[in-house]
Chain A
Amino acid sequence: MDFAQSEEHDAFRKVVGEFADAEIAPYAEEWDRTHEFPADTVRKMGDLGLFGLPFSEKYGGSGADFTTLCIAIEEIARIDQSLAITLEAATGLGINPIHEFGSDAQKERWLPDLVAGRALAGFGLTEAESGSDAGRTRTTAELDGDEWVINGSKAFITNSGTEMTSLVTITARTGPEEISTIIVPSGTPGFEVEPGYRKMGWHASDTHGLVFSDCRVPAENLLGDRGRGFRQFLSTLDDGRIAIAALAVGVLRSCLEESLGYAKERHSFGKPIGSYQAIAFKVADLEVMTEAARLLVYKAAWLKDSGQPFKQAAAVAKLYATEAAVTATREATQIFGGYGFMDESLVARHYRDAKVLEIGEGTSEVQRLVISRGLGLPVE
């Protein structure tokens, strides 16, 4: 058994870590405060090749393994979850479906800019009335001559309204029992991006509701096979679970590092707070959670990279790592006392940001559903 990552993984981890420290850390608090999507920094992440990591060199990608992408997401999440989710959603939800199921023409048209991080794509699955049960999509697309006419709306769509967004891919009903996926370029008449939500966290990440009113796109914008788009998309969800879990590992590490430093340095009753078991043991628990989450995530990534089944491992990693991250941010905030409740402290930002990790890309309940079904239980 070998738990070591390769020399190249380590070297790249260092580069992304330095990038995050130098290009993101000094500004993250301000972006959080102003709810600004930092497009220039996202483009710099593009220059570093982050958006093309797991994609084919033919379209400008690096052809790296999935583990490498997880490393990049983890390193950025340590500093700023908003930019980590921007990367995670852009690759997993934005690029991946086009890379996997797109026609050559679609790939040639959209991928080079997306892979280079010059443009972003969103994926619109969730609707106001269908989330965990995304198969109940109400949005419709009807073929009229050589155009799809789309009507309906989507909710909570990441990366859908930035100045860099070139398209969203959406799921829509194309027949009574038929859901397909369709590419809608930004700026198409009848495609309206609603103002950004007021969110509890992830303030620098871009999230919008989308409205489609007689929105017409060419018939060739169908992504993948008619009536199979939804299933095809579901098959890529397992990757996203590992990536979100990697994001959670970054959060856990940050909580551990911050708390460890503060426990040594902050004095109360004349002694460092880390000399009290109540605090020291919290830090010990953070270490355990971080290590456990890390092992689950990179095991799942390794299963995927080595071509083995990883559905169960991905759900286990997502469930554990995200729930641990939420616990860790709460405990780290506690260790920081009053300072931990101040918006500008890193642990406070992590605390607000982390909660959604248990919700997005399959809630904790949905993960438990997947896991228990994986165990053969006939659960509803």
Chain B
Amino acid sequence: MKIAVCVKQIPDPATPYELDAESHLVVRPQDQVLDDTDRYGVEVGLQLAEANEGTVTLFSMSPSGSLQGIRQALAMGADKAVLIDDQALRGSAALTTARVLAAAIEREGFDLVIAGTESTDGYTGVVPQQIAEILDVPALSFARRVEAGDGKVTIERQTATGYDVVESPLPAVLAVTAGSVEPRYPTFKGIMQAKQKPIDNLTAGDLGFGDDDVGIAGSGQSITAVAPIAGRQAGEIIEDDGEAHLRIVALLEETKVI
């Protein structure tokens, strides 16, 4: 089974972000980490590969930097990585990202594509479904338990009240939720082996895109301004004059909590 796992390298969320004054895009540091969300996708991919004699190939569109994030995913046990890094891709919106990733995945061949439900930094939560549409295969979202084999994939799809069991033929695209599995920690051996694993570097051109098809130009959107979010309002203090409970009930009703 050929499993493609989409992984995003993102700036370490524990360190402050810096925005480029002109483009308003996040300045990408050399050292980027594997998006925590994608550790779940990698783990699901590895478990399915172990159960089905499969291979796991990582796909990532990001500035390479020191490759720290990709190496993290390789150290967990993925077989190889395909990295699409190109100045022309800067400022790509979600749909452009999906087109680029889909092209790279199609070029490599796949039975199953796995992505996170939404990334930690961009969190539009649309890339997996867009990839499925472009590849013209079913999309299964909010997957918690996943089983695959015999040409089909079965998931438990997380809902507000429980889960639905959803089945689809392969090939398909899967968006997994955090908490679907317990991602393994890379071992020292894994870290050493990751150094030897192949990382294919592709440009937008390698995938048949012209400079104007991708990036800010191709996305048909640009960020015109960025403003800090307003600080949180102080809460309302209700003095208890004996009737406070009524006021609290009224407030809870107003906000539809009760």
Contacts and interface: CB of A to CB of B under 8 A. Distances in A.
A48 B75 contact: no
B192 interface: yes
A8 B187 contact: no
Given A48-B187, A62-B187, 4 more contacts: A8-B192, A8-B195, A11-B186, A48-B185
B71 A11 contact: yes
Contacts, number: 33
Contacts of B189: 49, 62
Nearest to A72: B188
A164 B185 CA distance: 22
B191 interface: yes
A15 B33 CA distance: 12
Interface in A45-64: 47-49, 53, 62, 64
Q: How large, as a class, is the contact surface on chain A?
A: 10 to 19
Nearest to B33: A14
Contact of B188 (A18, A47, A49): A49
B185 A15 contact: yes
Interface string A1-23: 00000001001100100110000
A11 B187 contact: no
B23 interface: no
A140 interface: no
A19 B187 CA distance: 11
Contact of A19 (B71, B185, B195): B185
A110 to B, nearest CB: 21
25 contacts: A8-B188, A8-B191, A8-B192, A8-B195, A11-B68, A11-B71, A11-B72, A11-B75, A11-B186, A11-B191, A12-B188, A15-B191, A18-B185, A19-B185, A47-B184, A47-B185, A48-B187, A49-B187, A49-B188, A49-B189, A62-B187, A62-B188, A62-B192, A64-B192, A68-B188
Interface of A: 8, 11-12, 15, 18-19, 47-49, 53, 62, 64, 68
Contacts of B195: 8
Majority DSSP secondary structure for residues of B touching A: helix
Nearest to A64: B188
B89 to A, nearest CB: 26
Contacts of B68: 11
A47 B183 CA distance: 12
Contacts of B192: 8, 62, 64
A68 B188 CA distance: 9
Contacts of A48: 185, 187
Contacts of A47: 184-185
Contacts of A62: 187-189, 192
Contacts of A53: 188
A49 B192 CA distance: 13
Nearest to B66: A7
B183 to A, nearest CB: 11
A9 to B, nearest CB: 9
Nearest to B68: A11
Contacts of B187: 48-49, 62
A53 B122 CA distance: 38
A53 B192 CA distance: 12
A348 B14 CA distance: 28
Contacts of A12: 188, 191
Contacts of A15: 75, 185-186, 191
A75 to B, nearest CB: 12
A11 B186 CA distance: 9
A48 B186 CA distance: 7
Nearest to B192: A8
Nearest to B186: A15
A64 B187 CA distance: 11
3 pairs of A and B residues whose beta carbons are closest in the complex: A49-B187, A62-B188, A62-B189
A62 B68 CA distance: 21
Interface string B92-121: 000000000000000000000000000000
A62 B192 CA distance: 9
Contacts of B185: 15, 18-19, 47-48
Contacts of A19: 185
B34 to A, nearest CB: 11
A11 B184 CA distance: 15
A274 to B, nearest CB: 22
Contacts of B184: 47
A49 B187 CA distance: 6
B231 to A, nearest CB: 21
Interface hub of B68, B184, B185, B188 (most chain A Cβ within 10 A):
B188
